[in-house]
Structure 1
Amino acid sequence: MVSDYPKFIYNAWKNFTETGVLVPGVKQEIGESWQRCRKYSVDYNNGRGNDRFKVPVEAKIQENIQLVAVAHSIMENIYGIVEGSGFSLFLSDKDGYIIDVIGDERIMDKAEKLNFVKGALWTEEAVGTNAIGTAIFLNKPVQTIGAEHYGKHQHSWTCSAAPIHDEDGNLIGCINMSGDYNEAHIHTLGIVISAAQYIQKQLALSVSYNLLNITFDSVTEGMIVLDENLNIKRINDRACNILEISIGEALKTDIRKLVKNINFNDLMNSEGKSYNNLELDFHIKNNIIKCIINAVPMQAGNKSVGIVITFREAQYVHRLVNQMVGYKASYKFEDFITENNRMKDIIKYAEKAAKSDCNILIEGESGTGKEVIAQSIHNSSKRYFGPFVAVNCASIPRELVESELFGYDRGAFTGASKEGHPGKFELADGGTIFLDEIGELPLDIQSKLLRVLDNNRISRVGGTYEKQLDVRVICATNRDLKEEIKNRSFREDLFYRLNVVNIKTIPLRDRKDDIEAITYNFISKLNLKNENKDKRLNSDYINHLKAYEWPGNVRELRNVVERDYYLSESVDILSPTQLEKSIQLNSEEAEEQGVITMQVLERENIEKALQCCKGNIVAAAKQLNISRATLYRKIKKYNINNV
């Protein structure tokens, strides 16, 4: 700095304030600031902070809490270097209000006399040309020395200020370093510029860190972060809720005791290895919490520096699967079409049963609406929001029944999925499981089902513990279970456990007063489905429908009506003569066309097996690969003489 500059700038200031004329040699940014101050009518004989601009300090700090938190530690570090040199550090917000101050006692006393304190406003308009106000106005670093300040009482100061910006380049504050003007040096401006840049970087990191924290705690999955030594370093709130532990407890927990089925050391040291959608148990406080987890190593360069584990309760995932695969009930009691008083009584009884949570056994012939009743019960119960899982016990191969119903753990048997597999009971947790054709269950599975009904717990195939479930059981059968009990193919204790509420459906031949309404409903739906058609029923057709005995019940009625609907070329549905042909299609017409129905084939096969085995039921059943009870039932069904 030129030694006579202080005298020059003072004379230039004096000339400007008295005449308004700016002499050559004054720095451009200072001269332009003086002109603005003159326009603002700032009192050049003053320069003190004015109390009328003062605001509650705490309010301003709170508005800029993140800026203050980051800048304060940086200001302390700088002050640790310049302490005792007569300099102080000031922080302002974007509007020029002082929100933090650190400095020597002597200079702070001087600053207080100048009202250069927290809460005071130090813009050009308030106190004239000064480093903070001018830096904010110009949005660039500024140094003001001695008489460069517009206010007379600031002439003994030297100030260096640099604006602070956020990640988007918006001005958010200003850092200033002030002291005696005799100590003025260009290096002080460099210090505050570096400080402002460092504050900006730390703010960006702080924002990113806060965003990560918010994201970490707001994700819907539990999340655990391990360091390279497998210590739990972070755990989010969702994880604590699932595991029912506090953050403090979690940080002290050994992950290898919490999750026993993963070799975390192997995962850490294996390149490219991870676990995805693995169903595992968390062992904590003598509890077992089954979850679906992902575990992925964190890489820094070519080195694993930790592991991220994300997980959700298996029950939640199962519920999501249920929604995706359609495990839900469609029918409600109001969907029933009936004028039959007995049927109305059955519906009222079923509605009453729906309000309870007891087991229900629905008995009746095929096609009489057993599953429709089961779905309606579910939808009228408190479980309507949960899954409705229907299982046809007769369609599951004998060797897979147990794993299909109760699930299996990984490695339970050859070909088993390595992640294990939930059974239908687990998928029905919180809802209803409908076991259709319950009479077809093998005796050993009946025993396990009885245990499930007694304690509401299931044990997977190959599993080592029982899982508590909340499932309502509704069963259905077209067989006489009491007869099966006599034949020792169905457990009597299981029958009484299932038969808490018994509902017997009515065959269509005993409710012929409903045939017309049901048929009209079928035709109405078919007309809606086929927009270009508007077919009707004639009375003769309805009368012939009523005259038939309908061994296949409503299911057979629907098939016949639908077939006639599409085969009819007129507006009216087929004539009675055509109807009779339609009903006989599966018998006489099929034989005429050289087709033998499955029922005929089955009957002939059973008769042949009995002849070969000379009437020995056990041997014949073994040859047919069916149970003895099933063989007895089919002999009765086809009225076969046991030779």
Structure 2
Amino acid sequence: MKDFISFMEKAWWRYITEGILEEGIREEIKESWKLCREYGVDPFGGVGEILDEKSMKVRLKENEELISVAHPIMEDIYRQVTGSGFLLVLVDKDGYLIDRIGDENIMGETRKLNFVEGALWTEEAVGTNAIALALRLDRPIQLVGAEHYCITHHMATCSAAPIHDEKGNVIGCLDMTGLKEEAHPHNLGVVLAGAYAIEKQLALMRSHKLIDATFDSIHEGMLILDHNFVVQRVNEIALRILNIAPKEIIGRHIQSFVDFDIIKEVLNQSEPYYDVEGAFYSKGRKIPCRINAVPVMANRKTIGTVITFREERYVRNVVNKLAGFRAYYTFEDIVTQDDKMKKVIETAKKAAKSDCSILIEGESGTGKELFAQAIHNYSKRAKGPFVAVNCASIPRELVESELFGYEKGAFTGANKKGKPGKFELADNGTIFLDEIGELPYEVQSKLLRVLDNHRIVRVGGTEEKKLNVRVIAATNRNLSEEVEKKNFRNDLYYRINVIKINIPPLRERKGDIELLAKVFVDRLNKYNNEQKVLSESFIKRLKDYHWPGNVRELQNVINRAYYLAEGEIITEDYFPENIERKNCEEDINVTAVLPFDVIEEKNIKEALRLAKGDVVKAAKMLNLSRATIYRKIKKYKVNLKELSSLVETK
């Protein structure tokens, strides 16, 4: 080593004085010396500048994680070399010293060279040194004596190794500096092992942070139990749902918080349970949830259990969105220029701001569901579900279970897990009971009870569930007459008839016929990218007709004429043959008019045929909601598969 030190001192002097590089100098040292000369580094200097206090604080903050991981490792290494005169230094990716450990006398001596926190140790700043080369070359390196470019560093030996992140990027450097007489190859091995340990610890820390972040970012409550079912870990969502602090649940048996039978079944069968209806108990509060329980296995033994859960109301909201339980229409979708209709809309808007039950009366096709959806979207419940129920389409024996749900095993053929009813699905939103006059008399009393106390009991169950549901009912019957006939309960009638909205038939607002017809054509043009218009003769035929099927019938007639018309003008030739023009005299009866149901069925089938069986497209053509067209498909027993195959053969 002495011979090497002597050789390098002579070689360095010759390069500094004559610019000649001797054979035997390492290539990386030659390259670095040349760079230092280009940079104009003073070979007789080598004392770099130090960052100001403010800039140093910023740099320490940027490297907070690196320092926190590296410092304990540096302390471990230093314990092995204490008393040998070495100093351990941590440098960031730019070459700034951010941490150091060493003997007091060594620390004092190095301050003379500004080898302290905040100093920059690049080649351009202080000449050739191990730190700069390790960062630039991205490999470990050891320098001894005169291999340093600046004479002030010739007394030292430096061993440095780069530190990488998980992607292989250089994020810093670990350096070990001492007197050149103490130089030994194992110094570099010690530094390399230290840098490797820092990298592994960083990767482990980030892995833990990733796991922690994942654990806390899961949109479900999560509990991790040991083999004795004691809670070992809990995420933020679980704490929020249960409204407790970590110390109130960690270390406690899960039986204190949930129905333990579910967990025991998982243990006994060593198989996971998914989407089980259950409840958590916290601070005297029962929290209905959907629970998943998964055993953790090792050597064919259960060593723990992972429980995830969501509040039932949250699950219902998700299901409602997926099932399309939402209102699509607003008051802006109700097209009118009729003063009477405008007053009805104003009344509906005022009603929407309250939580009162609403009864919408009107003939078939006047747009009762359109009004119900608009009221929902105008109310404070707009973000909640909108669940529409056609009371006439539910089999009599299933009405109660459809409305109020049922528990598992409630009756033969029931879902094994039970099923929530439409009222539960509408929690925090609106339930629209269309054709409420068709509701069986025996169910009416149960509905009245729900409206009175806002609680339901599932079929086959005993537990009451409190709900927050706004009821909008609709009928094309005269309910007061039905009450007199004993077909409808008097008390229920007054309970739902807090605010009544009566939609006038289309024949009483003649001015809307042409307006609505043109709106329907415009929508079809936009959908089909065409420019069709109605002829004056066609419009006259529309105005002369009395529209027993109201707006729905008008729309169906427009749809039919639109798709049959070959040119851009929709003439009276495309007015349905089954509809005769009504005489101008109001007292003359209309003849040869097909029942509205027949017209509606034909239009629905035609729209589905044109849409090639796509229900959503057909619904847009007919300006119907998805829920409504599915009800019509069911009502008219439309075979979609048969319809699709018919389209394909054509």
Q: Could you say which residue in structure 2 is the equivalent of 1:202?
A: 201
Q: Which amino acid aligns with 1:109?
A: G
* Higher mean displacement: 103-112 or 172-181: 103-112
Please list the CA deviations of residues 288-318 of structure 1 after superposition, one character each: whole Å capped at 9, or x if unmatched.
3333444444556766554444444433333
Q: Report whether the alignment pairs 1:106 with 2:114.
A: no
Q: Could you say which residue in structure 2 is the equivalent of 1:29?
A: 28
Cα contact 1:12–1:23 (8 A) shared by 2: yes
How far has the Cα of 1:71 moved from its partner? 1.0
SS at match of 1:42: coil
Match for 2:386 among 385, 388, 392?
Answer: 388
Residues 172, 560 of structure 1: CA spacing in aligned structure 2 closer, same or farther, 3 A cutoff?
closer
Q: Which amino acid aligns with 1:6?
A: I
How far has the Cα of 1:565 moved from its partner? 8.0
SS at match of 2:572: coil
Structure 2 matches for 1:360-371, cutoff 5 A? 360-371=358-369
* Higher mean displacement: 180-189 or 227-236: 227-236
Q: Could you say which residue in structure 1 is the equivalent of 2:592?
A: 584
Residues 121, 229 of structure 1: CA spacing in aligned structure 2 closer, same or farther, 3 A cutoff?
farther
Q: Could you say which residue in structure 1 is the equivalent of 2:434?
A: 436
Cα contact 1:337–1:517 (8 A) shared by 2: no
> Unmatched 5+ residue regions in structure 1?
591-643
Structure 2 matches for 1:347-426, cutoff 5 A? 347-426=345-424
* Higher mean displacement: 60-69 or 150-159: 150-159
Q: Could you say which residue in structure 1 is the equivalent of 2:120?
A: 121
Match for 2:454 among 450, 453, 456?
Answer: 456
Q: Report whether the alignment pairs 1:545 with 2:545.
A: yes
Structure 2 matches for 1:124-273, cutoff 5 A? 124-260=123-259, 263-267=262-266, 270-271=269-270, 273=271
Match for 1:491 among 485, 489, 492?
Answer: 489
Separation (CA, whole Å) in 2 of partners of 1:280 and 1:344: 49
How far has the Cα of 1:473 moved from its partner? 0.6
SS at match of 1:43: coil
Residues 391, 372 of structure 1: CA spacing in aligned structure 2 closer, same or farther, 3 A cutoff?
same
How far has the Cα of 1:172 moved from its partner? 1.4
Residues 446, 34 of structure 1: CA spacing in aligned structure 2 closer, same or farther, 3 A cutoff?
same
Residues 524, 26 of structure 1: CA spacing in aligned structure 2 closer, same or farther, 3 A cutoff?
closer
How far has the Cα of 1:249 moved from its partner? 3.3
Q: Which amino acid aligns with 2:389?
A: V
User: How many residues are aligned here?
Assistant: 582
Separation (CA, whole Å) in 2 of partners of 1:543 and 1:54: 85
Residues 270, 406 of structure 1: CA spacing in aligned structure 2 closer, same or farther, 3 A cutoff?
same
Structure 2 matches for 1:431-580, cutoff 5 A? 431-463=429-461, 465-486=463-484, 488-506=486-504, 511=508, 513=510, 516-517=513-514, 520=517, 524=521, 528=525, 536=535, 537=537, 541-542=541-542, 545-546=545-546, 550=548, 571-573=571-573, 579-580=579-580
Separation (CA, whole Å) in 2 of partners of 1:284 and 1:365: 51
* Higher mean displacement: 94-103 or 9-18: 9-18
* Higher mean displacement: 523-532 or 464-473: 523-532
Cα contact 1:458–1:466 (8 A) shared by 2: yes
When the two chains are superposed, the root-mean-square deviation of aligned CA atoms in Å is 3.8
Please list the CA deviations of residues 502-536 of structure 1 after superposition, one character each: whole Å capped at 9, or x if unmatched.
23444566x27468547845974797488697554
Q: Could you say which residue in structure 2 is the equivalent of 1:90?
A: 89
Q: Which amino acid aligns with 1:477?
A: T
> Unmatched 5+ residue regions in structure 2?
582-589, 599-650
SS at match of 2:380: coil
Cα contact 1:508–1:554 (8 A) shared by 2: yes
Q: Which amino acid aligns with 1:162?
A: A
Q: Report whether the alignment pairs 1:280 with 2:288.
A: no
Separation (CA, whole Å) in 1 of partners of 2:301 and 2:544: 81
Cα contact 1:158–1:184 (8 A) shared by 2: yes
Separation (CA, whole Å) in 1 of partners of 2:559 and 2:593: 13
Which structure has the greater CA radius of gyration? 1
Under a length normalisation based on structure 2, what TM-score does the superposition of the two structures give?
A: 0.78
* Higher mean displacement: 73-82 or 2-11: 2-11
Q: Could you say which residue in structure 1 is the equivalent of 2:323?
A: 325
Cα contact 1:388–1:433 (8 A) shared by 2: yes
* Higher mean displacement: 4-13 or 446-455: 4-13
Separation (CA, whole Å) in 2 of partners of 1:577 and 1:133: 93
Cα contact 2:44–2:152 (8 A) shared by 1: yes
SS at match of 2:388: strand
SS at match of 1:122: coil
Residues 412, 75 of structure 1: CA spacing in aligned structure 2 closer, same or farther, 3 A cutoff?
farther
Structure 2 matches for 1:589-608, cutoff 5 A? none
Under a length normalisation based on structure 1, what TM-score does the superposition of the two structures give?
A: 0.78
How far has the Cα of 1:345 moved from its partner? 4.0
Q: Which amino acid aligns with 1:417?
A: N
Cα contact 2:561–2:575 (8 A) shared by 1: no
Residues 182, 410 of structure 1: CA spacing in aligned structure 2 closer, same or farther, 3 A cutoff?
farther
How far has the Cα of 1:330 moved from its partner? 4.0
Separation (CA, whole Å) in 2 of partners of 1:122 and 1:218: 41
SS at match of 2:209: helix
Cα contact 1:366–1:478 (8 A) shared by 2: yes
* Higher mean displacement: 298-307 or 308-317: 298-307
SS at match of 1:282: strand
Please list the CA deviations of residues 7-44 of structure 1 after superposition, one character each: whole Å capped at 9, or x if unmatched.
33334334444443333444443444344434444333
Cα contact 2:538–2:571 (8 A) shared by 1: no
* Higher mean displacement: 182-191 or 300-309: 300-309
How far has the Cα of 1:229 moved from its partner? 4.2
SS at match of 1:494: helix
Please list the CA deviations of residues 122-170 of structure 1 after superposition, one character each: whole Å capped at 9, or x if unmatched.
2233233322223223322111223333333333332211111222222
How far has the Cα of 1:186 moved from its partner? 1.2
Separation (CA, whole Å) in 1 of partners of 2:509 and 2:50: 97
Cα contact 2:11–2:22 (8 A) shared by 1: yes
Separation (CA, whole Å) in 2 of partners of 1:516 and 1:44: 97
Separation (CA, whole Å) in 1 of partners of 2:390 and 2:145: 95
* Higher mean displacement: 399-408 or 311-320: 311-320
Q: Which amino acid aligns with 2:190?
A: I
How far has the Cα of 1:498 moved from its partner? 1.4
Cα contact 2:506–2:551 (8 A) shared by 1: yes
Q: Which amino acid aligns with 1:545?
A: Y
